[in-house]
Structure 1
Amino acid sequence: MTHDYASPPRFEDQAQPPRRTGRHPVNIGHLVMGLVFLVFVVVWALIVTGTVHIDTVEDLRWLLPLPWIVGGSIGLLAALLRKS
């Protein structure tokens, strides 16, 4: 009398899970806020080093919106590139 049964699978014969590549989608919000922070630091450095001369607070009117404009532009560009 013979018994036909499948032997238990060996570890080497089991399918390996797919390897993770380490890449993940870019979070656009994190990208924009990081760039805004970076531009704020650059604006601060320009003022502290004297590269940009500020006499009054009103002279900052053109510098303070700059980080938000740069961040918004990069965010829009990243959103457009993600859709295509």
Structure 2
Amino acid sequence: MSHDYAPPRFEDRAGEAKPTGRHPVNIGHLVMGLAFLVFFVVWALIVSGTVVINSIEDLRWLLPIPWIVGGSVGLLAALLRKS
């Protein structure tokens, strides 16, 4: 017994509209991407000498910044998605 069935190709579906438009934003990816970006900016500021770190205690105000930025943008994106 042979089966000559093949799924329809995309090109064969001429009558259907092609999917266009935006896809929903994954908030988790957005938050982690922004946190990574801000960690990179903090690192670049320290390496370039723009921010001088004399001791490990000086980092206590820099390290929470990426999480605050990422969380704020994630919260804003979640609120905007609901409306």
Q: Equivalent residue of 2:19, what SS? A: coil
Q: 1:22 Cα deviation (Å)?
A: 4.7
5+ residue gaps in structure 2?
1-12
**What do residues 34-71 of structure 1 show as CA deviations (whole Å, max 9, x unaligned)?**
00000000000000000001000010000000000000
Work out which of the two has the higher radius of gyration on C-alpha atoms and give 1 or 2: 1
TM-align CA RMSD? 1.4
Instruction: Name the TM-score, length of structure 2 as normaliser.
Output: 0.81
**Percent of residue pairs bearing the same amino acid type:** 79
Q: 1:18 Cα deviation (Å)?
A: 2.2
Counterpart Cα distance in 2 of 1:61 and 1:79:
28
Instruction: Name the TM-score, length of structure 1 as normaliser.
Output: 0.80
User: 1:1-84 counterparts in 2 under 5 A?
Assistant: 16-84=15-83
Q: After the TM superposition, which segments of 4 or more aligned residues of structure 1 sit over 3 Å from their partners?
A: none
Counterpart Cα distance in 1 of 2:42 and 2:28:
21
Paired position in structure 1 for 2:9: none
How many equivalent pairs are there?
71
